[in-house]
Every structure is written in structure tokens, then in C-alpha cells.
């Protein structure tokens, strides 16, 4: 019996949001594939180093940029296939301003068509 056990406290929300990651070598564009209150799962074309802390702008649909900083905690870069598939990264939020946190909650609730609790 092959069963996957979810170990997260918060569920992952499947999304397709544009993201810009500000690395030393320039802006890396990518796509947020899922998001939790703790971080994001991102696919992009360029690798990032594990434990690297970066600034990012997340662009939910019909909203301005949400600014966060995060640390790369997981990457499939070292197992890339011959077809050069996009690199996938797990990025844990390190810092997010209160106003951006509220906007992020609003964006997630908007994804489901409901309103966050006041």
C-alpha cells in the first residue's frame, strides 16, 4: 500500500501566479504552483542555492505585487533530466510585512471566491 502522508500544518493551495525572484545575478521569473501560509512552491528556469534568502514579488491575478522574502529549503535542480525541465523550488517565507500578509490572505481567499474573516 503506497500512501502519501501530508505533514504540513496548513493545506497547499494550488495556484498559477507569476513571481519575480530577485537574485544576485538578476531577476528570475517563475510561476507559483502552490502556496501555504508558510511558503511557496515555484517553478522557474534558473537554479537557486539551498538556504539562499531572497526577496520576491508575487503577483496574484488582479492584484498588485505582494513583497516577501524567503529562504530556499528544497530544490530539484540536482536531479534535472536531459530535457532541461523547469527547476522546482520550495521557498519558506522568512519575512512579510503585515500589509502584504493581509493582501496575501485576501488573494488566497479570492482564489476560492470567498472573503477573509475580519
How many domains does the chain divide into?
1
State the average pLDDT for the chain: 84
Range 45-53 average pLDDT: 90
Q: Is residue 74 part of a domain?
A: yes
Q: Is residue 8 part of a domain?
A: no
Range 39-55 average pLDDT: 92
Higher pLDDT, 80 or 38: 38
Q: Is residue 34 part of a domain?
A: yes
- pLDDT interval class at 113 (50, 70, 90): low
Range of the domain at 97: 13-112
Q: Is residue 118 part of a domain?
A: no
pLDDT at position 4: 42
Q: Is residue 3 part of a domain?
A: no
DSSP code per residue over 21-78: EEETTEEEEEEEEEE-SSEEEEEESS---TT-EEEEEEE-TTS--EEEEEEEEEE-GG
If you count them, how many residues does the chain have?
118
Q: Is residue 5 part of a domain?
A: no
pLDDT of 42 higher than 70 = yes
CATH code, 17 = 2.40.10.220
- pLDDT tens figures, 73-107: 998 865 555 566 678 999 999 999 999 999 988 88
pLDDT at position 86: 77
Q: Is residue 117 part of a domain?
A: no
Q: Is residue 59 part of a domain?
A: yes
Amino acid at each position: 500500500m503506497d500512501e502519501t502522508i501530508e505533514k504540513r500544518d496548513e493545506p497547499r493551495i494550488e495556484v498559477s501566479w507569476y513571481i519575480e525572484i530577485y537574485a544576485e545575478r538578476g531577476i528570475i521569473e517563475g510561476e507559483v504552483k502552490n502556496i501555504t501560509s508558510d511558503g511557496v512552491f515555484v517553478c522557474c528556469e534558473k537554479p537557486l542555492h539551498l538556504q539562499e534568502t531572497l526577496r520576491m514579488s508575487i503577483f496574484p491575478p488582479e492584484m498588485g505585487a505582494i513583497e516577501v522574502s524567503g529562504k530556499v529549503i528544497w530544490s530539484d535542480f540536482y536531479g534535472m533530466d536531459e530535457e532541461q525541465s523547469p527547476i522546482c523550488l520550495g521557498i519558506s517565507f522568512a519575512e512579510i510585512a503585515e500589509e502584504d500578509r493581509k493582501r496575501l490572505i485576501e488573494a488566497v481567499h479570492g482564489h476560492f471566491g470567498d472573503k477573509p474573516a475580519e
